[in-house]
Amino acid sequence: MLFAFKIAIPVILLFICTGCYGAKETDSVAYVIAHGVDKAPGGKLTITTQIAPPAGPGKSEQENIGVIDTITIPSSGQNRTLISSTLSRTLNSTHLTAIIISEEAARAGIAPILAFFSRNREFRDSIYFIVVPGSAADYIQKNTSRLNLTISRLYENYLTKKNYSLPSTLHTFYTSFKNNGSSPYITYSAVNPRTGEDKSAGYKTPQQKSTPYIAGGIPRAGTKTAIEFLGLAVFKDDKMVGVLNSEETRAVSLLRGEFSWGYLGVVDPLAPQKDFISLKVYTYNKPKITAYFNNKAPVFTVKLKLELEVLGITSGTSYEKPEYRRLLETQVADLLKEQILSMLKHTQALGTDPVGFGLYLRPQLDTTAELSKADLTELYQQADIQIDVTAKMRRTGLIWQTTPKRNG
Amino acid sequence: MNIFTKNFKALKQIVLYEPPKDPPPFVLAEAERSNDTPAPVTSSLAQYEALLRYAHRLADTIEKSLTALKQPYQADKIAALKLEIAALEKQQDKLSPVLETYSLSQSPANQEISTSMEENKLTLEKLYNLPDNQDLIIRRLTIPAQPPVDAALVFIDGISDKNTINLAILQPLMLLGKRDKSLFQKAGLEELLAEYLPGNQVKLVHTFGDITSAINMGDTAILFDGLSQAALIETKGQEHRGPDRPTLEQSVRGSQSAFTETLRVNTGLVRTLLRTSDLTTEMLTVGTRSNTLCAVMYLKSIINPELVVEAKRRLQGITTDAVTQAGMLQLLMMDQPILPYPQALSTERPDRVAAALAEGRLAILVDGSPFAIVAPISFFTLLHVAEDFSLPWVAGSFARILRLLGTLINVLLPAMYLAISYFHQEALPTDLILAIGAAREKVPFPAFVEIASMEFAFELLREGGIRIPGLLGSTIGIVGAIILGQAAVAANIVSPITVVIIAVTGLASFAIPDYSLSFAIRLTRFVFELLAAMLGLIGVSGGIITIIVLLCSMKSLGVPYMAPLAPKTRYGYDAILRGPNAAQELRPDELSPQDIRRQPTVSLRWTKQASGKKKGDKS
């Protein structure tokens, strides 16, 4: 019996000492879904906190938004204390889905914000970062969900797409921010004024049918959802230096190997004035990037293989036939090569490396001393980059061969 | 009598109340508190030694007298003997109180049968509390031998077969005809038994202990006046129910017969499935007052003999007054009776017992109980059912995994819900925790109280469902659960998520085939819920470790409870998963049977033989 006690007491003590404490009932907790960060005068920050509606998703959009509080304070940490005093419930950030940063705050540098979120256990590494032009508070107010029930699911669904926008989480931002060899980037989103005004942004290649846009510039009107995700905010260190348009964002996605498939419209090579071809583009494999020094000047070669599926040919030309197929494949390869080169030129000028070319250069530096001395982003800026895109038509859709219309 | 007098009398009755003059109601008097120790020995050792000396002296004197009588008359020797006898008489007088105490301290059951019929009758009356006890029948008759002998038939009404007594004992004895032989001759009684009594089991006994144990089983004893022997004739014939369909262990494809309350019927049911001379049935008696018969059954050439020795040692080492059920005996002889986990399998199916015996286990059947105890077993045996082997091995394995998952859900689901909703809200998808939070918004109680109250309601329904008779029980159980759940949610006493969790847990508990295991798992679940509410997932994981340690340290009749996993033994494809029947070549290794091999490596020899049909032969 004494032996049993001797065993039992340490075991019980162990449980008591190591057990979990701080139990919270679900009805005494307020779940923060989104944080908005705006720059305020006097070096302060305006933090907007969106709290999930405690009674679950309601029927109206206003009920779905939940509670939104905006407080202007000198530091992010103080926000918690102040907002707690306005709420009856305990703030819980374990389900924080997105941090929305205004472009102004991003351009000023987000290292102070990052320092707060990256150290605290309560914030998950998978929190999405979003940069918006204008006010983050305004963005949160206007972001109402129509098709989705909860705001958190809305962000999650938007940010799984890797085509005209690329998701950026606390983890990916932090690792590329701290690492030498790649530059961080954040998804770019904006509230569309919905006036139908076409604000195309950037260079359009001759093979391209569509126009590049950045968020907020799509000519749309009448739709209810105001926000759109398009483009990429690129950073040099912790400061935002520019925005890539939709086509450039896709180029980054292709080179990072994150692009899986997407739609593409190209000008018909045989009737460039009026006809165009719609295609579905798949990546055959991840791009092969090699790097070497040519007399201290870095050279990158990129080999990108794509597969195509025809969705529609307005001219009716039989691009399925071997003699025409080559034409179409070259047209697509040229288009994407042009877009990639355009993106590279743009980012080299901005001094940011969202693809992470610098990482491929690291094995070429023989010692750690050389590596720590080298500014890989600067080397990227000076680099000669050779792009080789090949596209193969694998499927022709449901039509194997187009026949001309019969007369009589 | 006017109205005033009436009112005055009524008022007087109220004010001057007197209790009615009825006799006082019966109240059981409290017994004098006595120490629960055996009665002290009244006769001292010295007294017994004195008796012994007296007996020796008496024997000497008798011998001397015999030699003196055989020799020619010698006056001096006779006189000396006279003196000695007188001295002996004096000593006897002195010792008579001691003698009396000694004979009184002896149980009548150990008493030898007397030659006097009256004496025997008195002993029986004393033993069976006659004439108050009306169960025992003493039938006097005269056997027409030479000379005629008074005899008495003794049997208990209700457990002996009257037809056998009438036709096979009374009729032959009373219609002996003229028997010129004397019963008092040497071997006279044996001749009577051999020639005239057609009973299938007849034997001669000398003590009342033998008589009582036989007639308590339903046999008949015949006492003869002038003989210190009694004849016992097998006349067992109590009313019993025939083998019925199993009620607890129903199966779709297994056999449809279950044990009954009669031991011999049950052993017979097992033997019909194992028709081999190897099957041994040993009979033992348990319970000092109930004298319950127990059968220990095993296959002699397979079972490890140490298991039989140990089981019999434990059975014989039980000193209790009455064993009325197999479950009671199971608890009395198991390795860790303090733990709720069953350490033996209780089954009502003869086919399960036969399968267990063939594996090298032993079965204990108790008279009056329709359940057999099978031991040793492992934890996994409790999750098996009889028809596992009637199903293809994939289906059988699937059912076993399902039951194991059901057991895990039963233990862990409410605990995990409590731990996560209290301490680890980040562990759930955002939408799910928001949905849980929203569902709990209107409930005024903490999650633990919700779970505890629903558990309590569910346990009440379960207990009630068993107690409510017949068909009504299950209906009330289901209807009660639905109405209670609905109403509790509507009244905002519990949240729908709690109802879902308790319902799933309840459903999972029905997937556990063993009733005792189900009970043990439920008790474990309550402990886990407490741990989860107090210490979160750390508490739950601590509980899991404790349970694993506990289960691994347990033994079933000396065999590790978690075998063949811990300790790891040779795997016979019959624990968590079930292999094809033909692949189960070995018996459970942990039982250390005398013959480990159940079947040869190629048990389906027909697959290796030619079919006897030529290729292309269409006839």
Cα–Cα distance measured from residue B376 to residue B374, given in angstroms and rounded to the nearest whole number: 7
Q: Same structural domain for residues B211 and B267?
A: no
Mean per-residue pLDDT for B184-210? 81
**Domain end position, chosen among B327, B359, B377:** B377
Residue of chain A minimizing CA distance to B435: A56
| Contacts B439 to A, Cβ<8 Å | 56
> Are residues A153 and B430, on separate chains, in Cβ contact within 8 Å?
yes
Q: CB-CB: which of B421, B435, B446 is closest to A56?
A: B435
**pLDDT exceeds 90 at position A334:** yes
Q: Indicate the burial class of A2 (C-beta count within 10 angstroms; 0-12, 13-18, 19 or more).
A: exposed
Indicate the residue of B425, B438, B535 with minimum beta-carbon distance to A15. Answer: B535
- Residue A349 C-alpha, separation from nearest chain B C-alpha, in angstroms: 41
Mean pLDDT of B431-438: 88
Same domain, B127 and B154: yes
What is the residue-wise DSSP string for B475-517? HHHHHHHHHHHHHHHHTTSS-HHHHHHHHHHHHHHHT---HHH
Cβ separation A95–B446 shorter than 8 A = no
Q: Does B440 touch chain A (CB under 8 A)?
A: yes
Whether residue B437 and residue A31 make contact (CB cut-off 8 A), yes or no, is yes
B417 and B369 both lie in a single domain:
no
Instruction: Say if B159 falls within a structural domain.
Output: yes
B124 and B100 in one domain? Answer: no
pLDDT at B178: 57
Average pLDDT over residues B344-351: 94
- Mean pLDDT: which of A298-302, B79-83, B562-566, B598-602 is highest? A298-302
E-assigned strand segments in B300-432 = 345-347, 362-366, 372-375
User: B539 and A26 in contact by Cβ < 8 A?
Assistant: no
Q: Look at residues B377, B411, B437 and tell me which one is the last residue of a structural domain.
A: B377
A61: pLDDT confidence band, cut at 50, 70 and 90?
low
For A29, which residue in chain B has the nearest alpha carbon? B437
B101 and B128 both lie in a single domain: no
The torsion of the CA quartet B425, B426, B427, B429, rounded to 10 degrees, works out to 100
For residues B78 and B145, state if they share a domain: no
For the cut 90, the answer to whether the pLDDT of residue B102 exceeds it is: no
Q: A95: which chain B residues are within 8 Å (Cβ-Cβ)?
A: 425-426, 430, 433-434
Q: Is B349 a domain residue?
A: yes
Chain B interface mutation, best of A26, A33, A151, highest count of B Cβ atoms under 10 Å: A26
Residue A69 clears pLDDT 90, i.e. is over it:
no
Nearest to A255 by CA among A231, A228, A280, A290: A290
Residue B105 pLDDT exceeds 60: yes
Q: Do the Cβ atoms of A15 and B438 come within 8 Å?
A: no
Shortest distance between the Cα of B412 and any Cα of chain A, in A, equals: 17
How far A347 CA sits from the closest chain B CA (Å)? 36
Taking CA atoms, A258 is separated from A263, A280, A360, A389, in Å, by 15, 16, 17, 16
Q: How confident is the model at residue B541, as a pLDDT?
A: 92
| B274-294 pLDDT tens trace | 999 999 999 999 998 888 999
**Claim to verify: residue B457 and residue B514 sit in the same structural domain:** yes
State whether B441 and A27 contact (CB < 8 Å).
Answer: yes
Alpha carbon of B546 to those of B335, B428, B513, B550, B558: distances in Å?
Answer: 19, 26, 24, 6, 21
Whether B462 is covered by a domain: the verdict is: yes
Residues of A engaging B, defined by a Cβ cutoff of 8 Å: 15-16, 18-20, 22-27, 29, 31, 33, 52-57, 92, 94-95, 97, 122, 124, 149-150, 152-153, 156
- Domain hosting B78: range is 45-105
The interface predicted TM-score of the complex, written ipTM, equals: 0.83
Instruction: For residue B421, list chain A residues with Cβ-Cβ distance below 8 A.
Output: 25-26
Q: How confident is the model at residue B39 (pLDDT cuts 50, 70, 90)?
A: low
Instruction: Output the average pLDDT for chain B.
Output: 86
Report the relative pairing of strands A29-40 and A90-92 from DSSP bridges.
parallel
Question: pLDDT band at residue A15, thresholds of 50, 70 and 90?
Answer: confident
pLDDT-derived band of residue A59, with 50, 70 and 90 as boundaries? Answer: low
**Residue A5: what pLDDT?**
85
The mean of the pLDDT values for chain A is: 87
Q: Do B536 and A19 touch (CB under 8 A)?
A: yes
Which tokens belong to B144? 């027409």
Q: Which residue of B has its CA nearest to A153?
A: B431
Phi, psi for A134 (deg, rounded to 5): 80, -150
Cα pseudo-dihedral B175, B179, B183, B189, rounded to 10 = -60
Question: DSSP assignment, residue A26?
Answer: G
Determine the Cα–Cα distance for residues B619 and B616; give it in Å rounded to an integer. 9
pLDDT at A356: 93
Q: Are B442 and B495 in a shared domain?
A: yes
B545 inside domain: yes
Tell me if chain A has a CB within 8 Å of the CB of B143: no
- Which chain B residues have a beta carbon less than 8 Å from that of A153? 430-431
From B527's Cα to the closest Cα of chain A, the distance in A is 14
Residue A194 CB coordination number (10 Å): 15
Would B481 be classed as within a structural domain?
Answer: yes
Average pLDDT of the segment spanning B30-42: 63
3-state helix vs strand vs coil in chain A, percent to 5: 35, 30, 35
Is the same domain home to B363 and B495? no
Residues B370 and B301 in one domain: yes
Please give, rounded to a whole number of angstroms, the shortest distance from the CA of A95 to a CA of chain B: 6
Does the distance separating the beta carbons of B538 and A19 come in below 8 Å? yes
Q: Given an 8 Å threshold on Cβ–Cβ distance, is A26 in contact with B425?
A: yes
| Closest chain B residue by Cα to residue A93 | B426
pLDDT (tens digit per residue) in A127-170: 999 999 999 999 988 887 665 567 888 888 888 888 899 999 99
| B538, pLDDT greater than 80 | yes
pLDDT attached to residue B155: 93
Give ∠ CA B14-B16-B20 in degrees, rounded to 5: 85
What average pLDDT does range A249-264 have in this prediction? 93
Interface contacts (A, B; CB < 8 Å): 89
Is B11 a domain residue? Answer: no
- Given an 8 Å threshold on Cβ–Cβ distance, is B533 in contact with A26? no
CB contact under 8 A, B437 and A150: no
Residues in chain B with CB shorter than 8 Å from the CB of A151 are none
Contacts of A122 in chain B (CB under 8 A): 426
Q: Is the pLDDT of residue A120 over 70?
A: yes
Percentage above 90 pLDDT, chain A: 44
Residue from B424, B430, B540 to probe the interface with A (highest A Cβ count within 10 Å): B430
Contact B430 A55 (CB under 8 A): no
Which residues in chain A are closer than 8 Å to B423, comparing Cβ atoms?
20, 22-24
B549 and B407 share one domain:
yes
Nearest to A184 by CA among A262, A131, A260: A131
Any A CB within 8 A of B439 CB: yes
List B residues 444-473 in contact with A (Cβ-Cβ < 8 A): 446-447
pLDDT score at A121:
82
| pLDDT beyond 80 at B272 | yes
Instruction: Single out the residue in B560, B580, B598 at which a domain terminates.
Output: B560
- Domain-located, residue B142: yes
Per-residue model confidence (pLDDT) at position B55: 87
Buried b (16+ CB within 10 A) or exposed e, B457-487: bbeebbeebeeeeeeeeeeebeebbeebbee
Residue A130 near residue A240 (C-beta atoms within 8 A) = no
B372 lies in some domain: yes
Nearest residue on chain A to B438, alpha-carbon basis: A55
Q: Which residues contact B170 (CB under 8 A, 6 or more apart)?
A: B139, B141, B153
Interchain contact, A95 vs B443, CB within 8 Å = no
CA dihedral B244, B247, B253, B258 (to 10 degrees): -40
Does B313 share its domain with B168?
Answer: no
Interchain proximity A56–B437, CB inside 8 Å: yes
Q: Which of B431, B436, B542 sits opposite A152 (nearest CB)?
A: B431
How many independent structural domains does chain B possess?
4
